[in-house]
C-alpha cells in the first residue's frame, strides 16, 4: 500500500457505520394514518346517509283490538246489506215492469174484444177503422181483406151490436206477447126484427208488443 493511505484503525466491523435506529414517532405514524382513513370513510358514509350501525329490529305487530274487529265486522255486514238491498230493488223493478206489461196486454185484449163486437151500421166505417188501428200482423191483413164486404153486410141489414166484457185474464205471457182470454156478452139488434137474446162469446186474443208502452191484437180465435 502507498504511504498516503492510512490504514483504518480497529476491526472492520467497527469501521462500517451501523444504520441509525428508527425513530419511535415514525413507527407510530402508520397507525395514525389508518385512523385518519377510518375517520374519512365514516364521514363519507354519514354524508351519503349510510350508517355503520346495524338497524334495530322491528317491534312485533300488535294484534287488532276488539274495537277494530267490531269495525271490520260492521263493515262486512253493511256491504252485505247493501248487496241485499240492491238485489231486492232490482227484483222489485223487474216485477213491476212485468206487472205493467201484463196490465197493458190485458187492457189491449179487453179493448180488442169490445172493438170486434161493437159495430153500428150508422158509423161502421169508423168501427172498422178502430179495429184495424188496434190490429197488427196476420190479423190486420186478414181483417183488412174482409173489411169491405163486412161493411156492406152491416149496412145492408142495418144491424147494431154492443159487446160487454164480463171476464178477462192473461192466460200466458212472455216478454213480448200474451194470450188473453176474454168472455163477452153481445147484444145485437137488426132493424125491423125482434130483439135477439144476448149471446156469450169467449175469445182467445193474442196481443203483441209493438213499441214502448204499445201493444196490438195479432190474432183472434173463438173458443167454446
For position 173, which CATH number holds? Answer: 3.10.450.230
Tens of pLDDT along 87-141? 677 677 677 888 999 999 999 999 999 999 999 999 999 999 999 999 999 999 9
pLDDT tens-digit series, residues 51-100: 445 555 555 666 657 767 777 777 787 777 777 777 677 677 677 888 99
Cα 163 to Cα 134: distance, rounded to the nearest angstrom: 16
The reply to whether 9 falls in a domain is no
The number of distinct structural domains making up the chain is 1
Structural domain includes residue 39: no
Q: Which domain holds residue 140?
A: 92-222
Amino acid at each position: 500500500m502507498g504511504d498516503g493511505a492510512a490504514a483504518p484503525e480497529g476491526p472492520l466491523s467497527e469501521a462500517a457505520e451501523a444504520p441509525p435506529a428508527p425513530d419511535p414517532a415514525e413507527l407510530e405514524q402508520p397507525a395514525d394514518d389508518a385512523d385518519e382513513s377510518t375517520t374519512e370513510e365514516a364521514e363519507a358514509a354519514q354524508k351519503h346517509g349510510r350508517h355503520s350501525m346495524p338497524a334495530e329490529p322491528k317491534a312485533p305487530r300488535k294484534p287488532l283490538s276488539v274495537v277494530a274487529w267490531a269495525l271490520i265486522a260492521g263493515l262486512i255486514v253493511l256491504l252485505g246489506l247493501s248487496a241485499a238491498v240492491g238485489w231486492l230493488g232490482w227484483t222489485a223493478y223487474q216485477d213491476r215492469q212485468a206487472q205493467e206489461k201484463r196490465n197493458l196486454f190485458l187492457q189491449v185484449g179487453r179493448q180488442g174484444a169490445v172493438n170486434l163486437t161493437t159495430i153500428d151500421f150508422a158509423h161502421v166505417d169508423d168501427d172498422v177503422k178502430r179495429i184495424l188501428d188496434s190490429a197488427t200482423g196476420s190479423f190486420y191483413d186478414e181483417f183488412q181483406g174482409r173489411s169491405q164486404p163486412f161493411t156492406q153486410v152491416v149496412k145492408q141489414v142495418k144491424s147494431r151490436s154492443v159487446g160487454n166484457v164480463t171476464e178477462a185474464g192473461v192466460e200466458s205471457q212472455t216478454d213480448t206477447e200474451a194470450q188473453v182470454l176474454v168472455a163477452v156478452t153481445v147484444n145485437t139488434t137488426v132493424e125491423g126484427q125482434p130483439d135477439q137474446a144476448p149471446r156469450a162469446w169467449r175469445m182467445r186474443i193474442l196481443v203483441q208488443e209493438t213499441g214502448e208502452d204499445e201493444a196490438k191484437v195479432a190474432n183472434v180465435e173463438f173458443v167454446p
